[in-house]
Amino acid sequence: MRKTFAAVDNKLRLSIYRHFLRKGRAPTVAEMAAALKSALPHTRAALKRLCQTHAFVLQENGELWRSAPFSAVPTAFPVTVGKSFWYGNCIWDALGIAAMLHKDARIDAACGCCNYQMVLHVKDGVLVEKKGTVHFAVPARDWYQDIVFT
């Protein structure tokens, strides 16, 4: 019996997130194919289908750029949980990493306009710092018109 696209896509999605959690980085497309025991063209096709959800975005070279809330490239939103380390794509995603893992976290963010260091802490699922403003330059409904800018 042939697997459905949905089953393959779900297996790939889980594999990508597990890789991020184990290795602290995105898997390459070749690593994804190996993990799925699948041919590269089939893996690339599944990855393109996942990108239709907007949770996954590819770089121009076809490798992952984003698997929300994780960034596959360094950003201004590093997240530390214990001895593990990841990048969020934005402050929203950085906070999402701590929420997703249900772990205490440190987020070494910086102000977008002046680069002033803003360290945030999540403890027992709650943001410790009570002052500050999160600024979204683009309304959420428009984020995916240009996700790299957003």
pTM of the model: 0.86
pLDDT digits (tens, 9 = 90+) for 19-73: 999 999 999 999 999 999 999 999 999 999 999 988 899 999 999 999 999 999 9
pLDDT digits (tens, 9 = 90+) for 94-136: 999 999 999 999 999 987 778 888 999 999 999 999 887 777 7
What are the extents of the domains in the chain? Answer: 5-59, 78-136
For the chain, what is the largest distance between any 2 Cα atoms, rounded to a whole number of angstroms? 58
CATH of domain 5-59: 1.10.10
Q: Measure the CA–CA gap between 41 and 110, rounded to whole angstroms.
A: 40
Determine contact, residues 73/65, Cβ cutoff 8 Å: yes
